[in-house]
Amino acid sequence: MFGGAFATVRWYAHRIEARLIEPANGGWKRATSILSILLARAFRSPTCAAVTAVAQAPHAALSWVMDRQHHYRIVNRWTGNLGTGTSAYAAYSRAHELSGLDKAAAIPGSSDPLYRGDRTRYNPEELLLGALSACHMLWVLHLSADAGITITEYVDEPWGEMSEYADGSGEFTRVVLRPRVKIVQADQVHDAVEIHARAHAVCALARSMNFPVEHEVQVIT
């Protein structure tokens, strides 16, 4: 275990495979740093001649540890020019649209109504909650299917807490996911609840936040 994260390391004749799994909150960065150094040292071994170039750069070793790297793109288009642009704070709308290639529909966006936003459109704070909820849910569905647990209904009503400071800046301090899940197997309710902890450990978005992402789970049959 490295910095609160578990690591699996496999040694072969001419190569080493390493993977970090289910890192605890706060342990990921330290764990990857430690593991990259250990791998860099290991690469200096004569038995690892094929990767001696990586030994010269621990950051390269770290990228080698990762299984895959993903990239995402989206288009954010402001549609709130009411004729005079941003000539004054009250002269423009906060309306915008989020869209992407091959997407079925654009997401109508605005700001929080407290900041002259349109309450009928999604604000960034709500979209953050939605993204965290969706990431967690998709992992729960995946892990449940793997465990032989049949989910028939899933509804989440997450809430978030954000602090605002005198200079106008703000930051989220807490998000609580509140999934209500219906399953078929009455004897697997406990297992179905436990899966949420595993989902939290692997959800990329929850792992990327600098504030607690909690979950209050209700499982019924």
Specify whether 80 is located in the same domain as 117: yes
User: What is the span of the domain harbouring residue 75?
Assistant: 70-122
CB-CB contact of 212 with 175 (8 Å): yes
Secondary structure of residue 37 in the 3-state scheme:
helix
Specify whether 47 is located in the same domain as 75: no
Apex 143 CA angle, 193 and 208, nearest 5: 90
The C-alpha torsion from 123 through 124 and 130 to 131, rounded to 10°, is 160
**Rounded distance, CA 99 to CA 153, Å?**
28
Report residue 149 as tokens: 């647990």
* Residue 175: count of CB within 10 angstroms of its CB: 21
Specify whether 108 is located in the same domain as 47: no
**Rounded distance, CA 66 to CA 68, Å?**
6
What single string gives the DSSP state of each residue in 64-83? Answer: HH-S-------EEEE----S
pLDDT tens column, 41-76: 555 554 444 443 433 444 444 444 567 899 999 999
Specify whether 199 is located in the same domain as 132: yes
What is the pTM for the complete model shown? 0.73
Report residue 33 as tokens: 């740093």
pLDDT tens column, 90-148: 999 999 999 999 999 999 999 999 999 999 999 999 999 999 999 999 999 999 999 99
Specify whether 118 is located in the same domain as 128: no
In a 13 Å sphere around the CA of 14, the CA atoms on its Cβ side amount to: 3
Q: Could you give the number of structural domains in the chain?
A: 3
Query: Which of 48, 65, 82 represents a domain boundary (last residue)?
Result: 65
Please name every residue paired with 174 in a beta bridge, in sequence order, or none if there are none: 161
